[in-house]
Every structure is written in structure tokens, then in C-alpha cells.
Amino acid sequence: MTVLVYPLDLGMHWPYRDWPQDIFHIEKQIIGWETVQVPAGDFDCFVVEWLYDRDFDDNYRDDIQVLDY
């Protein structure tokens, strides 16, 4: 399972699989930068969007939005 691909850069994308189930296709894509504020301080982070193709037709769902930072 590939969670992140290094070095990270804006616009990168890669497949993410949950073997052995792999019940749907997920791609991850870096869509931007944001500063995240937490009690430990401010951190410049990549924004990673998860793209879901639940029926394997190569069309990603636009009604699901999951982001990682």
C-alpha cells in the first residue's frame, strides 16, 4: 500500500490500494498548500485529496471529498 510518494510536489498523483479487498479504486493527488495551525505551532502542509472511483469506470466521485494535510 503506497500512502505517500516522495518527493512530494504540487500536481502529483498516485494510486492507493487497500489489498486484498480493493473494493474500489482510490487515487491520491496533491492539490495545493495550506498553513495548518495547531497548539504546537503553524505548519506549511501539502493538501492531498483522495479521489474515489467506486465502480471502476475511471470516473471519480464528485460527491465525496477527503483531504489529508
20-55 pLDDT per residue, tens: 666 778 899 999 999 999 999 999 999 999 998 877
pLDDT band at 68 (very low <50, low <70, confident <90, very high): very high
What pLDDT, on a 0 to 100 scale, did the predictor assign at position 1?
65
Cell of 17: 490500494
What pLDDT, on a 0 to 100 scale, did the predictor assign at position 26?
86
Of residues 37, 57, 38, 34, the one with CA closest to residue 49? 34
Domain boundaries, the chain: 13-68
* Eight-class DSSP state of 40: T
| 45 close to 67: Cβ distance less than 8 angstroms | no
